[in-house]
Amino acid sequence: MNFRRFFVQEKYIPQSVEEKWQERWEARKSFSVTEDPAKKKYYLLEMFPYPSGKIHMGHVRNYSIGDVMARFKRMRGFNVLHPMGWDAFGMPAENAAIQNNCHPAAWTYENMAYMRGQLKRMGFSYDWDRELATCDVEYYRWEQQIFLRMYEKGLAYKKTSYVNWCPSCETVLANEQVEDGGCWRCDSEVKQKELDQWFFRITAYAEELLECTHRLPGWPERVLTMQRNWIGKSFGCEITFKLEGRDEGIVVFTTRPDTLYGATFMSLAPEHPLAATITTPGQQEAVAAFVEKIAKSDRAGRTADDLEKEGVWTGAFCLNPLTGGRMPVYLANFVLMEYGTGAVMAVPAHDQRDFEFARKYRIPVEVVIQPDGEPLDPATMTVAFTEVGTMVNSERFDGMKSDAAKEAIADHLAAAGIGKKSINFRLRDWGISRQRYWGNPIPIIYCDLCGVVPVPEADLPVTLPTDVLFTGEGGSPLARLDSFTSVPCPVCGRAARRETDTMDTFVQSSWYFLRYCCPDLTTAPLDKARAGYWMSVDQYIGGIEHAVLHLLYARFFTKVLRDLGYVDVDEPFTNLLTQGMVIKDGAKMSKSKGNVVDPNSLIQRYGADTARLFSLFAAPPEKDLDWSDQGVEGSFRFINRVWKLVFEILPFITGATALDREKLTEEGKGLRRIVHKTIRKVTDDIEGRFHFNTAIAAIMEMVNALGAFEPKNDPRNAALLREALTALVTMLAPFVPHAAEELWEGLGNTGSLAECSWPSFDPAAAADEELVVVVQVNGKLRDRITVPVSASEEEIREAALSAERVQSFMDGKSLLKVIVVPGKLVNIVVA
C-alpha cells in the first residue's frame, strides 16, 4: 500500500477530495445522457438561474435538493436527464452596461462562466453537454419562429392599451409585476402610459389552464389554488341596459342577476368608450376633469384598500330592463375597464361598494332581498346585505330564495332577449413587449404601405446588434439604432422599419425545459421524438415565488406549442416541489439586509459536501430554512465522524468473506437490523416525501450505532461491518457525493459510486424479534412491556394486565375496558 496515499485518506480534506472527483466525473461524462428506450427515463429539473454574478444560498439549496433526487434516481436505475442553463436575458445586464460601460453580452457571459464554475465546484450532477443560454442566438432564434407561428394563429397580437410603466427601467410591467405600486425589480413608482403593445392570447387557454389544475396531483395544492384564483373563472350573466334617448345600450357582466330589481344606478369605468359619447353638455367639464384625474393616478392606487369611492354623473340615464326605472349613469373610480365589460350595474342595497357610492351621491337604495329575521329598511341600513335571503319587490320572483332566483332571472332575461348567461375570467392577456435592448427581438417589420409584416421565417434570426450605445435614457437603445431599424419591407421591398420591442424574459423560461431535450438541434426549435421521450418533467423544483407567473406561462406555452404541432405534451411538469426561502437572523437573505452568506467562503472553509449537507439537513425542502453557522459546523463534524469511523473499521474488514446470517452474534443481528431499517427509512424519506432532513438523521443514528458497536476487530463481525459500511457510504452518495466516492474507493472499490445501485433492504434482517408495547391506564403511560413480535392480542393483553406497575394503578378500581393496538400499546380503562 502506498503510505503517503493512506496518510491523505486518514484525514478528511474536503477540497482535494472534491476536486478529484469533480475531475473524474467530468472525464467519465458520468452524467451525460441520451435517449434510451430500454431504460425508464426520469427528467429532473430545477429552475435555471439568472446569471446575476454569483450563486447565492437559495441556489445552493435549490440545486442541492435537485441533486439528491438526480443521484438517487440514477442509482435506482433511471435514465436521468438533469440539465442546467441560464435565464440570460434581462434588465440587470443592461443596467450594468449603463453603469459600468460594458456590453450586456460581455457582462452576462462573464457571469455565466463564473457561476458555471461555482456550480461545478458544488459537484452538482448536471449533463453540461445540454447547457443553454437564452441570450444565445441559437436559442432565441427559435423563439422568434414560435412567435411568428403564434402570430399566424392570432395568438400573438397587437393592441393599444394603458400599461404599467416603470420610469426607471423604462419598460412596461405586467400587472402582476407591480408590487405595492412599485416595480417588482427596482421598486420605482409605476405610472400609467398608453402604448402599442404585443400580447399573447393566454385568455384563449383560460378554460384549459383552469381545467388541467384538477389533473395535476403532483403539484402542491396551494399552488394550484393560487393559479385557479388567478385565472378567476366566474359564472354570471351579461345584461344590456338601454340608454334613454339612444339606440345603443350598456352591457354589464354580473354574478348577481338576482339583485337586478334593486339596480338603481350604473357605474362605468372612466376609460369606457361610452363615457365620452353619452356625457351631456352640462356635465362635460366635470366628466373631463374626473377622467383626467383618474388617468394621472396609478393603477396601484386605484386598487388600494382605502381608496375613497369617487365618481361623476355623466348626465345620462339608462333603464332598468325589468323595472323600467331610470338609472343615472356614473363614472366610478373603482370600476376597471379590464374586468368584465367595464360597466357595473349598481345595487346599493346588496353590494358594499355600491352602497357606499350611493350614500355619498344620495342615490336611492332599493331592498330586493330580505334576510331571515329583522327586515331591512333602506333608510336606516348602514351596510349592504350580501348574503342569501328571500326575494322582495321583484314581481313574479317575490318569495323565492335569492340563490334560486339567480338562475330564474337569468333564464327570464335570456328568454326576453335582454341578457344571456356568461362566463367571465379574471385572467388577462400576457403583454410581452419590453422597450429594452437585452431581450429577444420581436420579428416584425412595419411598412407604410403593407402595414404589419412578419419577418419571413427564412430571414430569421433577427439578431441583436452589438454596436449599441447604453445611456440609460430615452427608452430602447434599439430604437435609436438606424442600422437595425432600417430594413426593406419583405412584401413590397420599400424602406420599412423593424419592431424595436423585445420579448418579456418570461417567454424564454416558458419553453427552455423543452429545448433541453434537443439543445443541439439546428433545424427547428424542438425535436418531437426526443421531447416525446423525455417530457414531461418528472420533477420540477424551484421557489414558491413563481407559483403563478412563470408556472402559469410555462403551462400556457406548452399547450400553444402542442397546438402548433411542435410537441405532444399537455402539461410541462408532472410533479412540482416548491422550496422555502433561506432565512438568516429572522429575515430573507439579501444584500440590503446584510445577512448574506457567500457559498464560496463555505466551500473554502468546509467544502461543498458540508454546504450541501447542511442545506438539506436543517429543514424539509418546502419550509423556510434558518441559516445557522453552528449548524454548518455540525454538518462538517458529521462528515468527519463518518470519515474516521470508516478508516477505523477498514483494517478489520479487508479480509471479510461473504456474510453468513446464521453465524451472526446477537449484537451482530441487532446492528444488521439497524442497518436494514435505516436503508428502508432513508429510501422512503427520499422517494416518498423529499424529507432529506429525516433521512440524514436516520443515517446519523446508524453511524452512532456503528460507532458504539463492539468488538469491531472480531473476525466474526467483519462481513457484517463491511455490509454496514458499504450501505452507509452508498446512502451518503446523494447528499455528500465527493466524500462518499472517496470512502467508497477507500473500501477497495473501483469506478464511481455515481454509477452504482442504491442498496436494497432485507425485510427479514430489518424485522424485529420482539417489541416494546406501551401500557397506559386511563390514557396515561404507566409501564412498558417487551413481547415477542409473534405475540397474540390476547397474550399482549394478559401481559399488560399482569404488569406490576399497572396493577398498582388499578388497585381498588374496576376494569371497564382494555384497548389493544397491535405493535403499539395497550390502554386499560378503569374507574
Partner RNA sequence: GCCCGGAUGGCGGAAUUGGUAGACGCAAGGGACUUAAAAUCCCUCGGUCGUGAGGCUGUGCCGGUUCGAUCCCGGCUCCGGGCACCA
Contacts of residue 788, defined as CB under 8 A and 6 or more positions apart, other chains included, come to 769, 770
Smallest distance from RNA to CB 776, Å: 6
For residue 70 the three cell numbers come to 438526480
Candidate segments 210-218, 313-321, 475-483, 703-711, binder of RNA by CB under 7 A: 703-711
Contacts of residue 489, defined as CB under 8 A and 6 or more positions apart, other chains included, come to 445, 447, 449, 450, 453, 495, 496
Q: Taking CB under 7 A as the rule, does residue 308 contact RNA?
A: yes
* Residue selected from 157, 162, 230, 361 as contacting RNA according to rule CB under 7 A: 230
Cβ proximity to RNA, 40 vs 623, nearer residue: 623
Smallest distance from RNA to CB 255, Å: 4
Cα end-to-end span (Å), the chain: 73
Candidate segments 5-13, 290-298, 681-689, 786-794, binder of RNA by CB under 7 A: 681-689
Smallest distance from RNA to CB 633, Å: 5
For residue 244 the three cell numbers come to 334613454
Contacts of residue 411, defined as CB under 8 A and 6 or more positions apart, other chains included, come to none
Smallest distance from RNA to CB 690, Å: 10
Q: Taking CB under 7 A as the rule, does residue 420 contact RNA?
A: no
Q: How many Å separate Cα 46 from the centre of its chain?
A: 11
- Report d(CA 643, CA 634) in Å as an integer: 14
817 touches 778 (CB < 8 A): no
Smallest distance from RNA to CB 821, Å: 5
Smallest distance from RNA to CB 305, Å: 4
Task: Give 115's DSSP letter.
Answer: H
The three-class DSSP label of residue 196 is strand
Contacts of residue 676, defined as CB under 8 A and 6 or more positions apart, other chains included, come to 761, 762, 763, 765, 766
Candidate segments 135-143, 158-166, 229-237, 429-437, binder of RNA by CB under 7 A: 229-237
* Residue selected from 236, 542, 734, 737 as contacting RNA according to rule CB under 7 A: 236
Measured CA to CA in angstroms, residue 181 lies from 192, 375, 738 at distances of 11, 42, 48
Smallest distance from RNA to CB 320, Å: 14
Candidate segments 12-20, 73-81, 254-262, 758-766, binder of RNA by CB under 7 A: 254-262
Q: Taking CB under 7 A as the rule, does residue 184 contact RNA?
A: no
* Residue selected from 222, 293, 296, 420 as contacting RNA according to rule CB under 7 A: 222
The one-letter code for the residue type at 767 is: A
* Residue selected from 98, 106, 204, 226 as contacting RNA according to rule CB under 7 A: 226
Candidate segments 29-37, 108-116, 253-261, 464-472, binder of RNA by CB under 7 A: 253-261
Task: Identify which of 535, 405, 783 has the alpha carbon closest to the alpha carbon of residue 35.
Answer: 535
DSSP string, 331-373: EETT--TTSTTSEEEE-GGG-HHHHHHHHHTT------EE-SS
Residues 780-819 close enough to bind RNA by CB under 7 A: 780-782, 784, 817, 819
Burial of 582-605, coded b for 16+ CB within 10 Å and e otherwise, reads: bbbeeeebeeeeebebebeebbee
Q: Taking CB under 7 A as the rule, does residue 128 contact RNA?
A: no
Task: Give 218's DSSP letter.
Answer: B
Smallest distance from RNA to CB 498, Å: 34
Smallest distance from RNA to CB 693, Å: 5
Task: Give 442's DSSP letter.
Answer: P
The one-letter code for the residue type at 651 is: P
Candidate segments 42-50, 58-66, 739-747, 772-780, binder of RNA by CB under 7 A: 772-780
Q: Taking CB under 7 A as the rule, does residue 256 contact RNA?
A: yes
DSSP string, 684-742: HHHHHH--HHHHHHHHHHHHHHHHH-S-TT-GGGHHHHHHHHHHHHHHHTTTSHHHHHH
* Residue selected from 407, 701, 714, 762 as contacting RNA according to rule CB under 7 A: 701
Residues 641-670 close enough to bind RNA by CB under 7 A: 641
- Report d(CA 434, CA 412) in Å as an integer: 47
Residues 374-403 close enough to bind RNA by CB under 7 A: none
Smallest distance from RNA to CB 136, Å: 31
For residue 50 the three cell numbers come to 439568472
Other CB atoms within 10 A of residue 334 CB? 18
Put the strands of the sheet holding 576-579 in their side by side order.
Answer: 79-81, 41-46, 539-543, 576-579
Cβ proximity to RNA, 94 vs 351, nearer residue: 351
- Report d(CA 405, CA 397) in Å as an integer: 7
Smallest distance from RNA to CB 775, Å: 9
Q: How many Å separate Cα 195 from the centre of its chain?
A: 31
Contacts of residue 3, defined as CB under 8 A and 6 or more positions apart, other chains included, come to none
Cβ proximity to RNA, 152 vs 545, nearer residue: 545
Cβ proximity to RNA, 234 vs 370, nearer residue: 234
Measured CA to CA in angstroms, residue 774 lies from 44, 187, 708, 778, 827 at distances of 43, 59, 27, 13, 8
* Residue selected from 373, 688, 763, 812 as contacting RNA according to rule CB under 7 A: 688
Residues 617-646 close enough to bind RNA by CB under 7 A: 617-620, 623-626, 628, 630-631, 633-635, 637-638, 640-641
Cβ proximity to RNA, 495 vs 781, nearer residue: 781
Element (H, E) at 782: strand 780-788
Which segments of 54-123 does DSSP mark as H helices, in order? 57-75, 91-100, 104-121
Smallest distance from RNA to CB 701, Å: 5
Smallest distance from RNA to CB 45, Å: 22
* Residue selected from 302, 359, 562, 605 as contacting RNA according to rule CB under 7 A: 302
Smallest distance from RNA to CB 452, Å: 30
* Residue selected from 159, 663, 689, 813 as contacting RNA according to rule CB under 7 A: 689
Other CB atoms within 10 A of residue 497 CB? 16
Candidate segments 109-117, 399-407, 431-439, 678-686, binder of RNA by CB under 7 A: 678-686
Residues 326-355 close enough to bind RNA by CB under 7 A: 333-336, 339-342, 344-345, 351, 353
Peptide bond into 461 cis (omega under 30): yes
Residues 264-293 close enough to bind RNA by CB under 7 A: 269
* Residue selected from 305, 482, 710, 794 as contacting RNA according to rule CB under 7 A: 305
- Report d(CA 340, CA 794) in Å as an integer: 69
* Residue selected from 253, 566, 690, 709 as contacting RNA according to rule CB under 7 A: 253
526 touches 567 (CB < 8 A): yes
168 touches 183 (CB < 8 A): yes
Smallest distance from RNA to CB 211, Å: 19
Smallest distance from RNA to CB 222, Å: 4
* Residue selected from 149, 681, 722, 738 as contacting RNA according to rule CB under 7 A: 681
Pairing type for strands 326-332 and 265-268 reads parallel
Smallest distance from RNA to CB 530, Å: 36
Contacts of residue 611, defined as CB under 8 A and 6 or more positions apart, other chains included, come to 60, 64, 122, 599, 602, 603, 632
Residues 143-182 close enough to bind RNA by CB under 7 A: 175-176
Query: Mask of contacts with RNA, 544-583, x by CB under 7 A?
Result: xx-xx-----------------------------------
Q: How many residues bind RNA (CB under 7 A)?
A: 90
What's the number of CA atoms in the CB half-sphere (13 Å) around residue 796? 27
For residue 638 the three cell numbers come to 458529521
Query: Mask of contacts with RNA, 717-756, x by CB under 7 A?
Result: ----------------------------------------
Candidate segments 64-72, 161-169, 394-402, 698-706, binder of RNA by CB under 7 A: 698-706
Cβ proximity to RNA, 104 vs 431, nearer residue: 431
Cβ proximity to RNA, 490 vs 707, nearer residue: 707
